[in-house]
Every structure is written in C-alpha cells, then in structure tokens.
C-alpha cells in the first residue's frame, strides 16, 4: 500500500519540472491527483505522461475564476481534498533600477496573491488532518542580485505558513513550505541562468533534480511528517546554510 493510498491531491502548475514529478510520485503512492496548467497542450501531455488517477484542469493560479473552476471540478469528481501543493510560481531577473510595476505585479500576482487564493478557495473541500504544502525558495532567505522582487514574494509565502498553521490548528491541517534551491528544470532554462555559476554555489556541487523535490513533497504530504508543521524545508544541497 502506498503512502498516499486513497488520498485526493491538488497540485497547481504541474505540467513540467518539480510539480509534474511530484504529481507522478503521488499517483504511484496511491493518490488521485488534480493538476493545473495554463497551456492546454502541455496539460494534456502531462496527464498522458502520468497515465492514471489524474485529472487536468486548465487554468492560471492567479486567476480567481480559474481557481473556482478547479475546485468545482474537484468537488464534482471527488468531493474532497486531502493534500494541496500550491506550486505555481514565476520569477524574472530585474535589478532595483529595472523593476517596473508590471514586473512587480506579475511576480506578486502569481507567487503571493495566487498562493493565498489557491489555499483559501480549497478550504471548504479540505479534510481535517490534511496537508498544505507551499512552494517557497531559498531566494526568500538569500540575497541574489536582480532577484529582489521574487525573493520578497517567497518571503511572503513563508510568512503565510506561520499564520495559517495557527488559523487551521483546530482542523489539524498542517502547513509547510518546501523551498527548493537550484533545480534543473525547464523554468531555469527560460530564465537564461548561468548554470555553471549556480553549480559553483551549491555545496553538493550539482543542481537538484525534480525527483528530489518530489520525494520531499511526498514526505510533507504523508503521515511520515505528522508532527512537522510550519517549517520551511530547504531542498537545496546546502546552499541556504552557507
């Protein structure tokens, strides 16, 4: 029997990278998973790759109408949520001098506003003793040039967890933050990042793999972490510790 046998999970922005790897692992461990993505073709590819016990719902985590449609689908098909991985996020490089209103609004719109309402709108379907996992980043505690707005947005996500675990304690719902370091994903390629520089900053000497994030998400989603609540768990090869 898998660690998530019979559980219902929702994972946002799960068409590639860490979230897709997590969705695949959750299904392998017995969960039924709802995944979201903005692009229909990518979403369909992800559903096909996962293969079973999965539903894809097209939508943007920063769009409240899309979130309503997501949870209406979950309610109609399964009627409950046991696990939520609010994974949707985005970041772009911009120095302090280069930051624009559009850059700020886009980053905070997805990373902060989107995370807030993804969780809020899930609560009516949430089972007691469930698990909420928020997608953080080591950028929330480190100073990376040209990444100030993104870093601030992830610090806000970390703050949400501290408040929400107290607000949800009567229901036994745990809230934790999974904060990746540099993971070799398509999103990193889109940033145009210098991978060699990133590798040099990681004590392990190599970037993480999406599957290494998925196994930690499984830990936070399952009863293995029943006494873990409100933590920020860095999965980064040690980068945040130096």
Euclidean distance between CA atoms 48 and 37, whole angstroms: 14
Helix (H) or strand (E) holding 128: strand 126-135
- Reading the block at residue 156, the tokens are 């806000």
Q: Of 85, 150, 160, 164, which is the active-site residue?
A: 150
Secondary structure of residue 64 in the 3-state scheme: helix
Q: Could you tell me if 240 and 138 are in contact, meaning their C-beta atoms sit under 8 angstroms apart? A: yes
Helix (H) or strand (E) holding 40: helix 40-50
Euclidean distance between CA atoms 156 and 134, whole angstroms: 11
Known active-site residue 150 = yes
Name, in order, each residue with C-beta under 8 angstroms of 98's C-beta and a sequence gap of 6 or more: 146
**Sheet strands side by side (includes 81-86):** 54-58, 32-37, 8-11, 81-86, 126-135, 174-180, 232-235
Active-site residue numbers? Answer: 150
């Amino acid at each position: 029997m898998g660690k998530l046998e019979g559980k219902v999970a929702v994972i946002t922005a799960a068409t590639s990278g860490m979230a897709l790897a997590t969705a695949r692992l959750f299904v392998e461990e017995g969960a039924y998973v709802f995944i979201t993505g903005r692009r229909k073709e990518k979403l369909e590819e992800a559903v096909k790759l996962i293969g079973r016990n999965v539903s894809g719902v097209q939508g943007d985590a920063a769009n409240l109408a899309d979130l309503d449609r997501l949870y209406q689908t979950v309610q109609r098909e399964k009627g409950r949520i046991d696990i939520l991985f609010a994974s949707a996020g985005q970041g772009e490089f911009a120095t302090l001098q280069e930051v624009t209103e559009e850059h700020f609004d886009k980053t905070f719109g997805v990373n902060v506003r989107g995370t807030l309402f993804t969780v809020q709108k899930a609560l009516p379907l949430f089972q007691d003793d469930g698990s909420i996992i928020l997608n953080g980043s080591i950028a929330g505690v480190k100073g990376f040039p040209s990444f100030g707005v993104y870093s601030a947005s992830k610090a806000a996500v970390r703050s949400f967890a501290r408040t929400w675990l107290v607000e949800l304690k009567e229901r036994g719902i745990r809230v934790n933050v999974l904060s990746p370091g540099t993971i070799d994903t398509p999103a990193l390629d889109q940033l145009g990042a210098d991978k060699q520089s990133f590798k040099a900053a990681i004590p392990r000497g190599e970037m993480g793999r999406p599957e290494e994030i998925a196994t930690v998400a499984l830990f936070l989603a399952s009863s293995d972490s029943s006494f873990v609540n409100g933590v920020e768990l860095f999965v980064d090869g040690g980068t945040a510790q130096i």
